[in-house]
Each structure stands twice: as structure tokens, then as C-alpha cells.
Amino acid sequence: MSNETDKAKRELVVFTEFVRVSGIPIDLDTVEKRWPPEPDLLCLHQTEGEVAFELVELCDPNLAQLFADPSRPGSDYIRTSDPSRCIVRNKLRKSYPLTHPIELLCYTDGRVITPANVIIPTIRPYLHSFKHVFRRAWILCQSKASIIWE
């Protein structure tokens, strides 16, 4: 199985969890995986019609490397930092076909130590100041979903 296939499966699991905990009225039977340059997922919002979602994991690369190979030399010491600012800034610079409204779903998956109450005020200024295509931005962290920008 390829990394892209694994990533696509993980995104569907994350999105299903997001819909469940947020209460957003998405018909999960309509969720379709899309491929670049389109946003990650296309689905049917029960009151707003078709909407696309771009997902981005807020992940510290040092933690990701440690989890991928915990036996590597030096794994008894790790330096971490909050990568959310850089990750979101890069995502906001991307362009997507504008055939449907697009929303951004930022999520943590255990590979960042920064809590949501630190991530949100870190990335919110970028959502306000960068010109981007997203109509809303969300965060999913520890089975809690919140709108962070609209």
C-alpha cells in the first residue's frame, strides 16, 4: 500500500471523527476522496450543498521521525517545537480549483505536543491576514472540534 493511499485512508478516518464530534451536518455517505490539485475531500453539507475540505495535520517532524523509528540513535532525547504556524502558512499559500466552497480542517494526531489553546491563537492571525480560498477553518484536537476562523 502506498503512502498516498495510507494518507487518504487516515484523512477519511479523521474527517469522520470531525463530523461526529463537531455536529456539522455532513452526509458521510457522500464523502469522496479527491486528488491534487483539488482539496482532499468533497461532500454534501445537508443545508449548504457541496463543500470541499482540505485537511492538514499539525505535526512536529521530530516527533513524526521518532514515532516512525523509535530505535534510531538519539531517540532518547528529542527537541520539539510548535510547527502549526509554518504548516498553516504553507497551506494558505496553495491554490485550489474554486468549484465549491472550501474549508480547512487542521488536526492533531498525537505527533505534536502543543495544545489547541496555544495552536489557535498562533494560527488565527495568519487566517486573518493571508488572502486564501477557505471560507472557514476548523481544528480537531483530542476529539474536540472548533471553528477557528470564518
Identity of the residue numbered 145: A
Q: Give the phi and the psi of residue 146 in degrees, each rounded to 5.
A: -145, 145
Chunked into runs of 10 residues, the chain (150 residues) has average pLDDT values of 83 98 97 96 97 93 52 58 90 93 93 88 94 96 95
Cβ neighbours of residue 61 closer than 8 Å, sequence gap 6 or more: 83
Nearest-angstrom CA–CA distance, 142 and 128: 25
Total-model pTM: 0.88
Residue 2 has a pLDDT of: 65
Q: Where do the domains of the chain lie, and which CATH numbers do they carry?
A: 3-149 (3.40.1540)
Residue 128 has a pLDDT of: 94
CA atoms within 13 A on the CB side of 93: 6
Nearest-angstrom CA–CA distance, 96 and 93: 10
Terminal Cα distance for the chain, rounded: 37
Residue 60 has a pLDDT of: 73
